[in-house]
Structure 1
Amino acid sequence: MTVTNGKALVWMSDDLRLEDNLALFTAMSSDYDGYAVVRVRPEARSRPPRTPHRIELEDTTEQHLRQWFQTVGISFEVLDSDDRASLAQVCQKHDCSIVIRNAADGTPIEEACRQAQERELHQLGIPVLTVNGERIRRKGTGGEKQLAPFLSEDATIECQTRGADRPISLLRAFLERLPTSSYQAGMWIPGRDRNSTSQLSTHLAAGTLSLERAFVETAKAERAWHKANPGQYKTTEGASFRYFKARLEARRGFLSGFSRYEERVPPVAPTPEQAVWLTAWREGRTGIPMPDAAMRELTTTGWINFRLRQLVTSYAIQLLGLPPHAVGVVLAELFDDYEPGIAIQSHVKT
């Protein structure tokens, strides 16, 4: 008699991809009696509302995932904030006996939401298996830092084509022009920053592109470029790959730091006077040109470069004296690439 482990439910959050997805790979390759997939949107996890561009990107990705899963006969559901169904109910609907998720950290309220879901699952005797395919130490069981990341095989990557808008395709296109993009200098300068940088931070935040895949693709492109251009290691063009990898490494550092971060000061509501200044700061009309212009740019486009992010945050917290939590909520609602592990660590360092 063949013994199976029952049916698995893959719990997707900010890992909207088929490739380089350890939770999905575990469900597909292990001795489970089939699997189903549910994506829990950020608002259903008590995160601030997403920007229109972020919603568009994630909705498009959800559609691609739904189409792919449909072709292979796998159920794919999406839970939004107005859905009354819980993960436990989704498990019961699809007769799943285990839930598998990729390790990820969230804000305190988001973590409380996740823990409540897990308690309901445990009450039904449904275990939650947390796996970590990244070299980032995460909170809780299953979040140990990996010596080597989980990456899909090259053949799998190449067959998951979706056209020129595919995140990996966008990354490869950027890496082709990286040596001539004035990356190190241009990333800090308004007007040049968008053309000099990858503009992939929203994909990284949504999980449509994995950080580990970005490292691998960059290293591969770097080797190919130096092979074709020997002796150029110390030139601006040759060093551009190192600078880009350093930014990716900084991102990993922020996320690892967030796993150890504890909020020691409870959120404080703005006073009436602070509320007036908070609105003025958000709308870019405090009377100070540079931070005002940066906030108007952020509101319009959903993105500003890292130095401007530091500027608007430190200006709000240190000079205007606004509560950090209130500042963070505003930025979370304005940034296309909002991610707690990046945003909160940035606030701590201001």
Structure 2
Amino acid sequence: MKTIVWLKNDLRLIDNRALSMALRDTSPQSLVVVRTKNGTLGHVPPTLRRLDAEAAHIAAMQPLLAQAGIQFVDASATEEIAPLAVRLGASRVLANIEISDDIGFANDRRVARELRSAGIRFLETATDGIRRGQGARRPPAPFVTSAPDLAPLRFTAKPAPLASLDAYLKRLPFAHYRRDMWLPGPDARASSRLSIDLACGALGGDRAIHAAEAALRDCQPHHAPAYRQFLARFQWRQGFIQTLEDSVDAFPWAPVREERPEDGRYMAAWLAGETGYPLVDAAMRDLTETGWINFRLRQVVNSFALDLLDLDMHKVGIALGSLFDDFCPGIHWPQIGLQAGMAQDRGPRVVNPIKQGQELDPDGAYVRRWLPHVAALPEAFVIEPWRHPAYRGPTPIVDYRTAAREARLRAPAPKRSGSEVDDRLCTSNLLV
């Protein structure tokens, strides 16, 4: 009888807990690694770049499996896991828990019922210390593959995501990580850009924490703050993901309100980068073109849509998530919820797009790059171009001061508990 390792959103051989478990007690000839159409990001469709990245990870994986005598089946366009498992004569299916939303969670439960009905054992193993659903269960221990776990796989070189992680950790002390990771432009050099590998499941959070801890132990004392900050963001990331897993049965958390006449116009202007606020518009155009912006810019565009335009949080979440190459439900939705004011122990944190532009892009280089209609203006007018008499671009779609005041009035007063939400978590999208 065959054992199937089902690749859901977990595209790696090293640090794949389900695969390591199967290799311990299954011969290569009885093992099948499969992709099926069951995997889902839930409400948010993947970008084309995301699909290309996933295809590249799968292509790198296949020769290693073939060399080890392990069958690989890619049925992602045609078949679901339960009928495939029956057709292959499987006695059990192993998979790592997929970080998803209510749609993905419901899909997992349906698959489990179908496999049980077919007499096939289904076992889901932990992903990066995350436990599914509420309960008293302890978080699983971190998992990093040891050499015996990998037999009979033979690696002649490290997979690209692990090699990228190692290379970045070596240059991290010189990358000005803490200074530049939130500045548009310098962020490309300061950040590791590993977030898409993490989101695809090609790199595990446990592995990143393990490697960062080792680098911290071995580094020079004056380099330690950079490694600590890098490590902290991975730890925050797992906390965010657990937040969604704890409440996935109740997601979406808040009712979707009725459409207002102005909502369609506001949403279209925000997505097109035509709100009249240069930093917001540049960030949205950058994101649409490249699939990535840094975490401070993500907070700026989140706040603008949710607080200043008062758009529906689920429509904003879906629209924004579908632009991110590195979309991860467990990161994205808790942050949308926080910015929408769902945390009971903190009030609204409305972001001022003018002040943020002055702080993050003081010379206007980023805004000029993405907005031709402000490129010729004097530097003093780049962040507030409507003040210049020659400006002919879009004017502010809402008045910031009025919209910010209304956002604060809409939000319920914070209910102070024993501890407050750390504001760092509200901007932490782990774009390490």
Which interval holds the TM-score relative to the shorter structure? 0.7 to 0.9
Local SS of the residue matching 1:334: coil
Q: What residue identity is the alignment partner of 1:218?
A: A
**Distance in structure 2 (CA, Å) of the matches to 1:161 and 1:51:** 31
**Distance in structure 2 (CA, Å) of the matches to 1:223 and 1:265:** 44
Q: CA deviation at 1:286?
A: 1.5
Matched, 1:135 2:138: no
12, 17, 21: which one pairs with 2:7?
12
- Counterparts of residues 287-326 of structure 1 (less than 5 Å): 287-326=276-315
153, 168, 172: which one pairs with 2:146?
153
Q: What residue identity is the alignment partner of 2:235?
A: E
Work out whether residues 254 and 341 of structure 1, in 8 Å CA contact, stay in contact via their aligned partners in 2.
yes
**Distance in structure 2 (CA, Å) of the matches to 1:162 and 1:57:** 19
**Distance in structure 1 (CA, Å) of the matches to 2:54 and 2:146:** 24
Task: Describe the superposition over 1:78-115 as per-residue Cα deviations: whole angstroms up to 9, x where unpaired.
Answer: 343x52x2211110221101111112331111222222
Q: What residue identity is the alignment partner of 2:115?
A: L
230, 243, 263: which one pairs with 2:229?
243
Between 153-162 and 270-279, the greater mean CA deviation after superposition: 153-162
Instruction: Classify 1:37/1:139 alpha carbon distance in 2 versus 1 (closer, same or farther; 3 Å).
Output: farther
Task: Quote the residue 1:57 is aligned against.
Answer: 53
Between 289-298 and 28-37, the greater mean CA deviation after superposition: 28-37
Runs of 4+ in 1 over 6 A off after TM superposition: none
Residue ranges of structure 1 left out of the alignment (5+ in a row): 1-5, 227-232
Task: Quote the residue 1:114 is aligned against.
Answer: 108
Work out whether residues 132 and 144 of structure 1, in 8 Å CA contact, stay in contact via their aligned partners in 2.
no
Matched, 1:102 2:96: yes
**Distance in structure 2 (CA, Å) of the matches to 1:349 and 1:40:** 33
Residue ranges of structure 2 left out of the alignment (5+ in a row): 340-432
Q: CA deviation at 1:161?
A: 4.6
Task: Describe the superposition over 1:12-70 as per-residue Cα deviations: whole angstroms up to 9, x where unpaired.
Answer: 11211001111011111125782211124687564532222211211011112222222
**Distance in structure 2 (CA, Å) of the matches to 1:203 and 1:242:** 21
Task: Describe the superposition over 1:164-198 as per-residue Cα deviations: whole angstroms up to 9, x where unpaired.
Answer: x7111101111111111111110111111110011
Instruction: Classify 1:79/1:301 alpha carbon distance in 2 versus 1 (closer, same or farther; 3 Å).
Output: same
Work out whether residues 38 and 107 of structure 2, in 8 Å CA contact, stay in contact via their aligned partners in 1.
no
Instruction: Classify 1:268/1:40 alpha carbon distance in 2 versus 1 (closer, same or farther; 3 Å).
Output: farther
Cα RMSD over matched residues?
A: 2.5
Aligned residues: 333
Task: Quote the residue 1:275 is aligned against.
Answer: 264
Local SS of the residue matching 2:93: strand
Task: Quote the residue 2:185 is aligned against.
Answer: 191
**Distance in structure 1 (CA, Å) of the matches to 2:265 and 2:108:** 34
> Which protein is bigger by CA-based radius of gyration?
2
**Distance in structure 1 (CA, Å) of the matches to 2:330 and 2:235:** 14
Task: Quote the residue 2:389 is aligned against.
Answer: none
**Distance in structure 1 (CA, Å) of the matches to 2:127 and 2:48:** 30
Local SS of the residue matching 1:152: coil
Percent identity at matched positions?
35
Instruction: Classify 1:206/1:185 alpha carbon distance in 2 versus 1 (closer, same or farther; 3 Å).
Output: same
Work out whether residues 32 and 70 of structure 2, in 8 Å CA contact, stay in contact via their aligned partners in 1.
yes
**Distance in structure 1 (CA, Å) of the matches to 2:143 and 2:218:** 23
